[in-house]
Each structure stands twice: as C-alpha cells, then as structure tokens.
Amino acid sequence: MKKKRGLVPIEPESSLPLVDCHCHFPWNQNPARMVETYEKQYELFFKEGGKYIISCSVDWESHKFIQKFVESHDNMGYTSGWAPQTVTFTDKKKHDEEFSQWMDYIQNNPSNYLGIGEIGLDFHHAKKLDKRKRQIEIFKKIIHETKSLNKPYILHVRNPTQNDVDIDNPNHEFNDFDIVNKIIIKILEEEEIEPSRVMWHCFSGPSKEWGTKIASEGYIISAISSAYGNKKMLRFTSEVPISNIVTETDAPYQHPYQYGVSNTPRNVKYAIAALAFSHSMDQKEVAEIVLNNARNFFKIKL
Ligand SMILES: [Zn+2]
C-alpha cells in the first residue's frame, strides 16, 4: 500500500463494501466533461464492491430524471429535495408552481423515495436579507408539512464566509460564521424532529466543535470523499463517533483530490480512507460500520 506524503490518508483499499449516501446521479452535466457514461459508472461501482447508491434531486426537473433512472437500476434509491439554491435562483412564479407539484408528490408517494432532501439553507448563495429570509420560510414549510411522513431528512447547510456578508446589512446576525447551523437546529427543535432522523450532508463545520456538538445531539453526519484531500474537512469530523457517520461523494461535484474533474460514486472509497485515517481504524472496519449506519438511517435492505 502506498503511503501519501505527509499527514494525509493512505490509498483506499479495493473491494470495500461501499454505500454512497449522497450523489447526483445521473446529472445534467456537460457530456464533454464526462469521462464515462452513467451506465459505465454504475457498472464499475458494483464491480468494485459497491453495495448501494443513493441519488439526490434538488428540484422538480432533477426529481423526474433521477426517479426514472433509479427505478430502472437495482441497488439504488433516491432522496427527493428542494435545495436552497433552487429557492434562490428560480423565478418566483416557476418556483411556486413546481414547488407545489413537488410537495404533492412528496406527500402522496412516501414509499417511492428514501428521504427528503437535500433541503436547507445556503447563505453563500443567498447573500441578501430578503433571499435569506425566503430560504428560511421555505425550509420551515417543508419540515412542517412533511414531518408526519417520518422520512429521513438530508440537509444542505452552508454558513456565510467573510466574503458573503450582506453589504446592505453588514451587522445583521445572518452574517455570523455559524448562523446557518443555529437557525437549522432551532427550526428542527421547534418542529420536534428527532436528530437521529436527520443527516447533515457534506458536513463542513464551520468548526470541529460544531461536529462534536451536533453528533452528541444524535444527528447523522455525512463524511465526503473530498475530505480525503482536505485536512480542514477531515478535522471537522475527527471527533465525531463513527456510529454517527455515513459516507458520500456528492458526485459529480467535489472530486476527492483533483480540481475540475467529475466525481463518481465509486470514489466514496476515499471517504472511507479519510475516516480510517482520522479515527485510526481499519478501512474494512470503517466501511462495515458506515454501511450499517446507512442501512439503519435510510431503512434499506443491504
Ligand atoms: Zn449535493
């Protein structure tokens, strides 16, 4: 086994039992940037020991093509989401029409999908107060109207950085470095959502303390394959018990170590290697535990 330079994880082992708990697969990518077709990626994932792929939609259009693909492929499921970016970047009229179609589907077909999400808040993409308030309004509405379905929630949580300050309201608390975490937790508590029903997708802090805090409350944290090449991300989950962790790629985004290259579900093995490193465990042992965590969280047969 080849050891990488410095304090970074070793290479992923082969034939690990992998579950990618969050990817966008298939996706509306520029075909010119794709190395392999989705069918090829699917085939290789299982050939290399993969067990299950959970694909995630972010709006009504992606819901439709992902549902279609998942229903014609074994060992796949999907979570259906309404991402905060969808709220911010869709024309109001279109947004409201498609949101009600999506909500209708969610409420009437809970056995078709594994979870609701990604949903959440993104104060990097929404920099202005009105846009931020609108994301909060929609997030609250989704939780309130779907909580009795008892499905898992998959969160997209992005705090504002120093570059995301709302210049019209520079002293507003919505510019704080951990404000999105705080708002999300407040809403979930008000709606009495059991933390074990909630997965924080692509957990990105904003600090190690936040990782420890939310895990101690019982939330599930998803470690991403790109943590393999990112020491900061690796630190965020370093003290989170392995019993609270699942793994994902967020493919085609966030390649584990290359810039500008499409990610693929089988790279979830890099999340395993990163966790084995941060938790000083065997890769095989990590893979088996996170597989079991995914099975329990999404109630899938593996
Ligand atoms: Zn995603």
CA of 2 relative to ligand 1 center, distance in Å? 30
**Separation CA 175–CA 163 (nearest Å):** 10
Question: In this predicted structure, what is the pLDDT of residue 5?
Answer: 43
Dist. CA 60 → ligand 1 center (Å): 15
Is there a domain that residue 4 lies in? no
The angle subtended at Cα 246 by Cα 263 and Cα 161, nearest 5°, is 65
Q: Please list, in sequence order, all residues whose beta carbon lies within 8 angstroms of the beta carbon of residue 170, skipping any fewer than 6 positions away.
A: none
Look at residue 6 and tell me if it is in a domain: no
Q: How many helices (H) and strands (E) does the chain have?
A: 10, 8
Reference 70, options 109, 113, 99; nearest CA is 113
Closest CA to 275 of 231, 230, 228: 228
Distance 18 CA to ligand 1 centre (A): 18
Q: Is residue 114 part of a domain?
A: yes
Q: Is residue 40 part of a domain?
A: yes
In 27-161, DSSP assigns E strands to 52-57, 76-80, 115-122, 153-158
pLDDT score at 3: 45
pLDDT score for 259: 85
| 8 located within any domain | no
Report how far ligand 1's centroid is from the alpha carbon of 250 (Å). 5
Q: Which structural domain, as residue segments, surrounds residue 133?
A: 19-298
CA 211 to ligand 1 centroid distance, Å: 19
Q: What's the number of domains the chain is made of?
A: 1
Tens of each residue's pLDDT in the chain, 302 residues: 444 444 568 899 999 999 999 999 999 888 777 889 999 999 999 999 999 999 999 999 999 999 999 999 999 999 999 999 999 999 999 999 999 999 999 999 999 999 999 999 999 999 999 999 999 999 999 999 999 999 999 999 999 999 999 999 999 999 999 999 999 999 999 999 999 999 999 998 899 999 999 999 999 999 999 999 888 888 899 999 999 999 999 999 999 988 888 999 999 999 999 999 999 999 999 999 999 999 999 999 98
CA 162–ligand 1 middle distance (angstroms): 23
Residue 9 lies in a domain: no
pLDDT at 7: 57
Residue 210 is part of a domain; what is its CATH number?
3.20.20.140
Residue 180: its pLDDT value, please? Answer: 97
Distance CA 237, CA 234 (A): 6
CA of 44 to the centre of ligand 1 (A): 21
